[in-house]
Homo-oligomer: A and B are copies of this chain.
Amino acid sequence: MQQVICTVDVVLLTLQDDALKVALLNRSHEPFQGVAALPGGYIHPQSDGDAQDAALRVLREKTGITPPYLEQLATFSGPARDPRGWSVSIVYYALVPANVVAENVHPGVKLTSVDKPLKLPFDHLEIIRAAVARLRSKSQYSSLPCYLAGETFTLPQLQRVYESLMGEAINKVSFRRKITEMDMLEAVEGVFSSGVAHRPAQLYRLKPEIHEQLALLARGM
């Protein structure tokens, strides 16, 4: 019986200069050798604990990055998406703050705006569109955008992350009420944002329990 090719692909997303960017790298092998594509690879049944394990391994090996947030997006499949044969790709998306990307990323990785026209092999364009749609949809009613904000952030910085993802300005009072409602932040004791001319701004981080389980809003932003 013909075999099914089993791979994982990862959509690594970060916010750079208020623009949502995806990590692409030139493929080292055929098919599409030398062409920019999502980091991906075969599942290694000898060593991977599950598909998420495989996604983390592939991402670490190919980009140098261990993401603070990784979620299964969907599985893409069929006879035509990969010229090698009938294939399944279990796709994950990762959210990584820009500074973590900058400090760890391998030199060959290119960060490309998701809103620019992209030409990509396989069904990688469709996959990126699906990941961005999931992120933007979930951003409206959850703590998810915090994973793009860095380990600590001021409230104005966090608001700017939400606004960048949702593509529109949010009223400051309403934003702070929603953030309070989600009960997801803790002040970082005695630490204030540097580089501010007039007065220091309080820094916050996600509460430890929110790392395990997203905080949700009953009604969206």
Contact = CB atoms under 8 A, between A and B. Distances in A.
Contacts of A50: 77-78
Contact of A2 (B1, B46, B72): B46
Given A74-B72, A75-B72, A3 B3 contact: yes
B77 A3 contact: no
A165 interface: no
A186 to B, nearest CB: 27
Nearest to A7: B4
Contacts of A45: 1-4, 79, 85-86
Contacts of A43: 4, 77, 86, 88
Contacts of A166: none
Report how many copies the assembly holds: 2
24 contacts: A1-B45, A1-B46, A2-B45, A2-B46, A3-B3, A6-B6, A6-B88, A43-B77, A43-B88, A45-B79, A45-B85, A45-B86, A49-B79, A50-B77, A50-B78, A51-B77, A51-B88, A72-B74, A75-B75, A77-B90, A88-B88, A88-B90, A219-B219, A219-B220
A218 interface: yes
A95 to B, nearest CB: 18
Interface residues of A, number: 25
A92 B175 CA distance: 36
A219 to B, nearest CB: 5
A99 B164 CA distance: 47
A212 to B, nearest CB: 16
A74 B134 CA distance: 14
Contacts of A90: 75, 77, 88
Given A2-B45, A4-B6, 6 more contacts: A2-B46, A3-B3, A6-B88, A49-B79, A72-B75, A219-B219
